[in-house]
């Protein structure tokens, strides 16, 4: 992780992005998207992740997060990415996915030259943390996250996108527990 993208204080609020290798649209399948949702829920309940906003796009995940006292965002996200990588690849191997061979080849190739990777590399390196230092910056990133599916032409209104916290900000409970930023 370069100097620009470093988490210094785990209780601060950060904007994070995790991207699938080669920007592959993996999360168009409900089974695969649910792995991410379930894993985020687990991180909230068991690892100290505080979630303020999120949006799972077909090829990447945006989050606004912090961590409870004594917990590390870096550690939480490392474990999240490690678990979801393995679980998603296992699921791709078992579901009826027309792009199965192509995706697995891409993931295998991405991890081929890294001795830390056993078989497949699913996520790109890093989480690109950006500390949110002002209310204006928080509002900007919150809007960016929730408008992402609208900008991509997936929905007309942000709160209609299932894999996002936009619905929580419209007054309805979404898939994950979210701490609303006032």
**Average pLDDT per consecutive 10 residues, the chain (182 residues; last block may be shorter):** 53 94 97 98 98 98 95 95 97 95 95 85 94 93 98 98 98 97 86
- pLDDT at residue 10 in the model: 57
Spatial neighbors of 12 by CB under 8 A, at least 6 apart, are 66, 131, 132
CB 128 within 8 A of CB 17: yes
Q: What is the DSSP letter of 23?
A: G
Sign of CA dihedral 25, 90, 43, 18: negative
pLDDT in the model for residue 182:
81
Single pTM value for the model = 0.93
d(CA 134, CA 12): 11
Q: Residue 46 has which token pair?
A: 């068991």
Beta bridge partners of 18: 61
pLDDT at 32 (0 to 100): 98
Dihedral sign for Cα atoms in the order 45, 49, 54, 57: negative
Rounded to the nearest 5°, which phi and psi values hold at 49? -75, 130
Distance, in Å, from the CA atom of 10 to the CA atom of 27, rounded to the nearest integer, reads: 28
Architecture of domain 14-145: 2-Layer Sandwich (3.30)
Ranges of each domain in the chain: 14-145
At 91, which helix (H) or strand (E)? helix 73-94
Q: For residue 80, give the 3-state DSSP assignment.
A: helix
């Amino acid at each position: 992780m370069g100097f620009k993208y470093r988490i210094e204080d785990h209780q601060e609020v950060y904007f994070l992005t995790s991207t699938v290798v080669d920007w592959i649209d993996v999360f168009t399948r409900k089974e695969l998207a649910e792995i991410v949702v379930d894993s985020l829920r687990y991180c909230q309940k068991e690892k100290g992740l505080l979630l303020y906003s999120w949006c799972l796009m077909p090829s990447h995940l945006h989050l606004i997060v912090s961590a409870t006292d004594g917990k590390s965002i870096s550690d939480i996200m490392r474990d999240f990415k490690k678990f979801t990588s393995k679980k998603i690849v296992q699921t791709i191997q078992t579901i009826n996915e027309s792009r199965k061979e192509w995706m697995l080849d891409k993931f295998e190739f991405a991890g081929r030259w890294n001795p830390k990777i056993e078989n497949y590399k699913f996520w790109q390196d890093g989480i690109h943390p950006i500390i949110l230092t002002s209310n204006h910056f928080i509002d900007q990133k919150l809007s960016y996250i929730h408008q992402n599916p609208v900008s991509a032409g997936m929905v007309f209104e942000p709160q209609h996108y299932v894999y996002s916290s936009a619905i929580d900000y419209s007054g309805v409970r979404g898939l994950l527990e979210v701490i609303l930023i006032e």
